[in-house]
Amino acid sequence: MEKQVEPRMEHRLFADVGFCSLNKSGEELCGDKVHITRTPDSAVVVLADGLGSGVKANILATLTSKIAGDMLRMGSDIEEVVDTLTETLPVCKVRGVAYSTFTIFQMFSDGRAYLVEYDNPGTFFFRQGKAEQLYYLERTVNGKAIKESRFRVSEGDTLVMVSDGAVHAGVGQILNLGWQWPQILEHLGRTVPVCKTPEEVARQLADACGELYCHKPGDDTTTVAVRFKMSSPLTLLVGPPSIRAMDGAVVQEWMDQPGRKVVCGGTSANLVARELGLELTVNLADRAADPDVPPTAVIEGIDLVTEGVLTLRKVLALLQEYRLDPGADLPQGRSGAHKLATLLLRDATEIHFMVGTAINPAHQNPNFPQDLNIKLRIVHDIIRLLRELDKPTSITLY
């Protein structure tokens, strides 16, 4: 049995992050960079803005965001972070400005929050949809003037960070002085209460900036939205274990996991029903939902029961489609694949796959090596996409 999972706790706060970037007109790379680092009890979000634009700015912003995020995650204080960044990214001698500015936000699972800004626009904060002012302390660290704020966040709060491309939107075009901070706050005051996801908040703000730039941004522009909700783990049981004698232990371990439970595969569903002494019934109403996806089933107390490979393959396609535009609406549909994709993208904050490696002769030649297993390949592709979408995901093989 191969394990790659750490214990998880319920009833803790989770930072759901969405962001969107617009490249400066004519540039293939964005000079802004967002880096997200997570530990079991905290999340660090860094927005870095490299000097200039293009390749050089992208490299500088990437270095800044990676160094800052990883150092804070490992317990360094802001003085150490700024010292390291100062030594790594010195001030430009010609312009007299930093090679990269940044905003760093750190949140702990108990709601404690820390924000530090260095030459980036001010951060926006909404409590239950209404704007609230953050209070800062200003101090100098290694010759750099930084602004710090310590506060607490609660379920439903939203925090929005932007690079200076947002406050410059429309300069010399639609607006003489650009889109000023108060105007952005007014825009967010209308969108934050109605947007269902942080991706939607970030996308709508970036779209508004793009329109002010007449869709030819004069500067790299990045918007980051962080929304806070209670942790909601999801554990999927996919396939029976390789050793039949482990059936009962695996089902019990799956049931002992916190949060929602999903079982994928007819063999797995029958295994769960047998071990729990419950009835398994097919949901005939799902037959017409999607002709390419078998109907779901019902086991009392289990959140979702689906078919295996065909459903997972459809889930993978839905995730790939969503990955191209994370600000888009969630997959719409009534099939088991659509229901599972929605659980993964919207409801789950942490996802754990418990995957059995028993060979299914319907899918493969038993003489093939295990890494060619169709089910495993699909699961690993789903995990890769979920991680790209900032969904903490782990897997245990049995």
pLDDT tens for each residue of the chain, 398 residues long: 444 444 344 568 999 999 999 999 999 999 999 999 998 889 999 999 988 888 888 988 999 999 998 898 888 887 888 888 877 775 666 655 557 899 999 999 999 999 999 999 999 999 988 999 999 999 988 778 899 999 999 999 999 999 999 998 877 666 556 688 999 999 999 999 999 889 999 999 999 999 999 889 999 999 999 999 999 999 999 999 989 999 999 999 999 999 999 999 999 999 999 999 999 999 877 666 678 889 999 999 999 999 999 999 999 999 999 888 766 666 678 899 999 999 999 899 999 999 998 876 554 455 544 444 788 999 999 999 999 999 999 999 99
Distance CA 37, CA 197 (A): 19
Extract the tokens encoding 116: 């530090």
Q: Inter-axis angle of helices 54-73 and 78-88, to 10 degrees? A: 150
pLDDT at residue number 360: 61
Q: How far is CA 252 from CA 184, 256, 276, 365, in A?
A: 51, 6, 9, 30
- Quick check: 293 and 359 in contact, CB under 8 A? no
8 A C-beta contact, residue 252 and residue 193: no
- Measured CA to CA, the distance from residue 72 to residue 44 in angstroms comes to 7
How far, in Å, CA of 98 to CA of 65, rounded?
14
In this predicted structure, what is the pLDDT of residue 312?
Answer: 95
Q: Which among 371, 279, 397, 349 has a CA at the least distance from the CA of 38?
A: 349
Strands 233-238 and 350-355: parallel
So where are the chain's domains? 12-229, 233-397
In the structure encoding, which two tokens stand for residue 137, read together? 């302390």
| Long-range Cβ contact pairs of 52-60 (< 8 A, separation 24 or more) | 53/24, 53/27, 53/219, 53/220, 54/24, 54/27, 54/28, 54/29, 55/29, 56/31, 57/29, 57/31, 57/32, 57/220, 58/29, 58/30, 58/31, 58/33, 60/31, 60/89, 60/99, 60/100
Helices within 281-351 (DSSP H only): 309-324, 336-342
What is the pLDDT at residue 87? 74
- What is the CATH number that goes with domain 12-229? 3.60.40.10
Distance CA 297, CA 285 (A): 10
- Helix (H) / strand (E) containing 269: helix 266-276
pLDDT, residue 93, reads 63
The 3-state DSSP class for residue 237 equals strand
Scan for tokens 């930093």, then name that residue.
98
